[in-house]
Amino acid sequence: MSENTGNAGFPLIGDPFPKMTVKTTHGELVLPDAYKGKWVVLFSHPGDFTPVCTTEFYSFSKMEEEFRAANTELIGLSIDQVFSHIKWVEWINEKMDTTIGFPVIADDQGNISKKLGMLHPGKGSNTVRAVFVIDPEGIVRLVIYYPQEIGRNMAEILRAVKALQVSDANKVAMPANWPNNELLGDKVIIPPPTTEADAKTRLDKFEGYDWWFTYKSLD
């Protein structure tokens, strides 16, 4: 695990997600303890009642069951008060005929956003579009930051979560665009050999382009 959490200004990949008590639209939660045993996608948005953020919440709501099928829970966050979150979620549900079932953190003092590096000096008090993927042991496994002007791709976030899960379960690496890689399809990459003897026999055991680039099917 990295020792740089404090110096970097936000938890890095491999760091424990910092323990914190948060106020949400579903009541008070202690993170990451409240979701032990589950994967979590924690995402911040610049503000309630804003167009791009509204489209993002709608998209997350439509994919929420897919995330849950992958043992993954969603949590939103912005520097707004809880009553604003409640009203905005109510508005989205009513106007767009959907159901947002995940909690939204009310970080009205900005303390959580500062701890997680979600504030950009050039963007005032609004949070950037940050994404933290946290594993079932409370470890940060992926961090993505988007500018305020660009909405996120929820299918890519779900793909990344599934790729991490497959990688963990099989001790393999995932090629670009997995499971639809242009070279390998849904096959996965074998970690490089660590000895000369292993390198010499690697192509006898697996498909590959060379001993350092081998792959296999998960079937």
The CA-atom distances, in angstroms, between 94 and each of 10, 84, 91, 99, 111 are 36, 15, 5, 9, 31
Tokens of 19: 């323990």
Give the residues across from 27 on adjacent strands.
Answer: 24
Considering the candidates 22, 31, 40, 53, report the single residue annotated as catalytic: 53
Dihedrals φ, ψ of 132, to 5°?
A: -115, 125
38 included as an active-site residue: no
Phi-psi region of 138 (alpha: psi -120 to 50; beta: other; left: phi over 0): left
**184 DSSP 8-state letter:** T
Cα distances from 79 to residues 8, 9, 140, 144, 154, in angstroms, run 21, 18, 22, 19, 22
- Counted residue by residue, the chain has a size of 219
- Residue 190: C-alpha distances to residues 96, 120, 193 (Å): 45, 39, 9
Bridge-based pairing of strands 129-134 and 39-44 is: antiparallel
Single-letter amino acid, residue 66: E
Q: Record the tokens describing residue 26, joined without a space.
A: 């579903």
The first and second tokens of residue 131, run together, are 């994404």
Report, as residue numbers or ranges, the catalytic residues: 53
